[in-house]
Chains A and B, each alone.
Chain A
């Protein structure tokens, strides 16, 4: 969460080659004040979660694994829909791909945990040819084509009797760990996969490509017109989302001890992602995490009432999509200038500061007046 401050002359910031004018200096920083302690808090929270197996109950730990999976897939879906406008209803394809890679390799004598990175990378590779097909389409066609791909994959996998056919089969090689160790290992795997997914999206958004992504989020035609490589950015996010969902799929397979096509390829996973993101807030790093936690708490609270939690969450998500598109996190940051994951920029003009006025913040629109000019090669 380092604050990168760049001081430049106002004309230099706007025109790119003007002389320095200290009188009207503009300071651009990554973070507003809360961000440094938010970063420390995040790391402390991660350490606490990693140490949790030392003192928490087993039931709580295995519940948390489900939360990790939810946070991971919601974050990935948000990267697709919230930034590059790709509404995928077929992300269960990659959850299934991850789970079945674990199953297949474990059947061939691999340690199931060692297969996780292979499944993640393999699914991203698989996503490349898939993207050639589904990227021919946009909007609802993209959504449905991705869904059809997932359906085809489920039907295809079910044809292999060795992979358990239509009813699924147990993941071999998990007996040797002992129940407690196994729980701890897949708890840490889940935590690691999820933390890396969130970090991956965060770093991607702070990178140069992140600028393209936020530009596409705000106005795709505008982003194209200034020469952004929108297709490349979209494909990168699609591959990242495939990798992240596959990671969630591997943890799912190991934590459930078995893989069943009707479960891992179920469209309900996508429903979970969408509801969590819509409730938390589309197009922010924090939103999906908050949405996933709310989803999870309601799911646990209403566990005795079958599918009612999904009906309630779905209705709330629909209402928020219509009336409060920014989600809970969006509603919060419109009131309080707080960013846990600062991906935007703040422009502080010294003139404004001198007069003791509130800072001009451009965090959401991601204006990058000075740094990008410094970095880009000018003719």
Chain B
């Protein structure tokens, strides 16, 4: 029964990983950029939320109304003014620039907010849960997060398949030159993809901040989990990312049954084994997205 509970919790955690990873997957799928600062952007969202709550006193559960739009706008301009320039000098430069951003962001947070860990207090929601049997609980917060993760992935999917801009983003991802010939402004579309990525990762960061406590140095480990979810699920496939997140979530909670440290190690081992056996992921998809 304890295993069944771990599986249920693992699936919830996996939803969070997937929401976190969807931005990475989108950035890679559209412009072949791996943003190494992804984890630190999520952490920055938590700290911004802490400040926003301090100023406006709105309930923590609603703070995303303020934070997510800031990141959506920031993502667009960050891409247009900053990443786009580095993309011109080759993939190594983009990697180095985003890594530099990650270190700079982490240390700025350290200087401004100190190394103390922070969390977003959502009151009674943290402890509330539905009890199914003696051993199995469905925490409200986890259910909300899983719902938000699936809804966010579905919205991104609908945007990419049903709207004109979304279809143009996919066209640019498939063949940039051809898309340009029919009038697509790839710079603008890259900006759109980056702003969606920044919005989803900010959302994931806020969820993490409500679920557990965050410090400036936690960013990289979430980047690695997110990246692992993308690779396990198969590159550029959003639903594969969800599956990859679930696999990792299960590895984390089942590993934690052995001991807590093993819980943070097992997802990495699963990731490395997948790389060794199937470098293209468990659910590869040929076309981008």
Q: Which residues of A contact B (CB under 8 A)?
A: 81, 85, 87, 89, 133, 136-137, 139-141, 143-145, 147-149, 151-152, 155-156, 158-159, 166, 267-268, 271, 274-275, 278, 306-308, 310-311, 314-315, 317-318, 321-323, 325
Can you name the residue of chain A whose Cβ is closest to the Cβ of B221? Answer: A151
Closest chain-B Cβ to A375's Cβ sits at a distance in Å of: 32
Query: Is B100 located at the chain interface by the 8 A CB criterion?
Result: yes
The 4 A-B residue pairs with the shortest CB-CB distance in the complex, in nearest-first order: A140-B34, A307-B107, A318-B100, A314-B104
Shortest Cβ gap from B232 to chain A (Å): 12
Residue of B nearest to A155 (CB): B265
Assembled-state Cα–Cα distance A313/B148 (Å): 38
Residues of A near B56 (CB, < 8 A) are none
Task: Say which residue of A139, A318, A325 sits within 8 Å of B91 (CB atoms).
Answer: A139
Given contacts A158-B261, A274-B99, A321-B100, contact A314 B107 (CB under 8 A): yes
In the complex the two chains form, what is the Cα distance from A133 to B227 in whole Å?
17
Tell which of B93, B100, B111 touches A325, judged by Cβ atoms closer than 8 Å: B93
Q: Tell me whether B110 and A148 are in contact (CB under 8 A).
A: no
- Across the interface, do B86 and A89 meet the contact criterion of CB distance under 8 Å? no
B231–A141 touching, CB < 8 Å:
yes
B103→A310 contact, CB < 8 A: yes
CB of B111 within 8 A of CB of A307, answer: yes
Q: Is B271 an interface residue (CB 8 A)?
A: yes
List chain B residues, Cβ under 8 A from A159: 261
Q: Complex formed: what's the CA distance from A281 to B108 in Å?
A: 25
Rounded to whole Å, the gap between the CB of A290 and the closest CB of chain B is: 18
Q: Which of B101-143 contact A (CB under 8 A)?
A: 101, 103-104, 107-108, 110-111
Identify B272's interface contact among A81, A89, A145, A322, CB under 8 A. Answer: A145
Cα A145 to Cα B95 in complex, Å, equals: 14
Q: A136-B279, A314-B100, A318-B101 are in contact. List 11 more A-B contacts (CB 8 A).
A: A136-B275, A136-B276, A140-B91, A141-B34, A144-B227, A147-B220, A148-B271, A151-B221, A274-B96, A310-B107, A314-B107
Question: Residues of B contacting A267 with CB < 8 Å?
Answer: 220
How many B residues have CB within 8 A of the partner chain? 38
Task: Give the distance to chain A from B275, nearest Cβ to Cβ, in Å.
Answer: 6
A265 to chain B, nearest CB (A): 12
In the assembled complex, the Cα of A267 lies from the Cα of B220 at a distance in Å of 9
Shortest C-beta distance, B23 to chain A (Å), equals 15
Q: How far is the CB of A137 from chain B (nearest CB, A)?
A: 6
Cβ B224 vs Cβ A151 within 8 A: yes
Closest CB-CB distance, B44 to chain A, in whole Å?
14
CA distance A151 to B217 in the complex (A): 13
Interface assignment of B155: CB less than 8 Å from any CB of chain A = no
A278 CA to B89 CA in the complex, in Å? Answer: 14
User: Chain A: which residue is nearest B279 at the CB level?
Assistant: A136
CB-CB contacts of B176-212 with A at 8 A, as 1s and 0s? 0000000000000000000000000000000000000
Q: Cβ of A148 and Cβ of B268 under 8 Å apart?
A: yes
Residues of chain A with a CB closer than 8 A to B223's CB? 144
Residues of chain A within 8 A (CB-CB) of B101 are 314, 318
Chain A residue, CB-CB nearest to B227: A144
Judge whether A311 and B100 touch: CB under 8 Å. Answer: no
B144 within 8 A of A: no
Whether B103 and A268, one on each chain, are in contact in the complex, defined by CB atoms closer than 8 angstroms, is: yes
CB atoms of A87 and B96 under 8 A apart:
yes
A321 surroundings in chain B (CB, below 8 A): 86, 89, 93, 96-97, 100
Chain B: CB-nearest residue to A142:
B95
Bound complex: CA of A246 vs CA of B95, how far in Å?
Answer: 24
B100→A274 contact, CB < 8 A: yes
* Complexed CA–CA distance, A304 and B48 (Å): 27
B100 touches A143 (CB 8 A): no
Judging by beta carbons under 8 Å apart, are A149 and B92 in contact? no
Is B92 within 8 A of A318, CB to CB? no
Q: Is the CB of A322 within 8 A of B93?
A: yes
Task: Show 27 residue pairs from A and B whose CB-CB distance is below 8 angstroms, ordered by the A residue.
Answer: A133-B272, A136-B275, A139-B34, A139-B91, A139-B92, A141-B231, A143-B99, A144-B227, A148-B272, A149-B272, A152-B265, A152-B269, A166-B261, A267-B220, A274-B99, A275-B100, A310-B103, A311-B107, A314-B101, A314-B104, A317-B96, A317-B100, A318-B96, A318-B97, A321-B86, A321-B89, A322-B86
Closest to A312 in B: B104
Interface residue? B264 (CB, 8 A): yes
Using CB atoms, name the residue of chain B closest to A143.
B95
Bound Cα distance A328, B101 (Å): 21
Most A Cβ at <10 Å: residue of B107, B110, B221, B276: B107
When chains A and B are docked, how far (Å) is the Cα of A158 from the Cα of B108?
28
A87 adjacent to B103 (CB under 8 Å): no
Closest beta carbon of chain B to A266's beta carbon, Å: 9
In the assembled complex, how far is the CB of residue B41 from the closest CB belonging to chain A, in whole angstroms? 15
B26 / chain A contacts, CB cutoff of 8 Å: none
- Interfacial residues of chain B within 199-258, with CB under 8 A of chain A in the complex: 220-221, 223-224, 227-228, 231
A140 to B224, alpha carbons, bound, how many Å?
A: 12
CB distance from A330 to the nearest CB of B (A): 13
Q: Which of B28, B96, B224, B276 has the most CB of A within 10 A?
A: B96
In the complex, B162 has a CB within 8 A of chain A: no
What distance in Å separates the Cβ of A326 from its nearest Cβ neighbour in chain B? 11
The distance in angstroms between the C-alpha atoms of A365 and B224, with both chains bound, is 37
Contact of A87 among B89, B92, B220, B275 (CB under 8 A): B92
The answer to whether the Cβ of B85 comes within 8 Å of any Cβ in the partner chain is yes
Q: Mark B5-30, 1 if CB is under 8 A from A, else 0.
A: 00000000000000000000000100
- With a cutoff of 8 Å between Cβ atoms, the chain A residues found around residue B269 in the complex are 152
A148 and B223 alpha carbons, distance in the complex (Å): 10
B36 at the interface (CB under 8 A from A): yes
Asked if A89 and B99 sit within 8 Å, CB to CB, the answer is yes
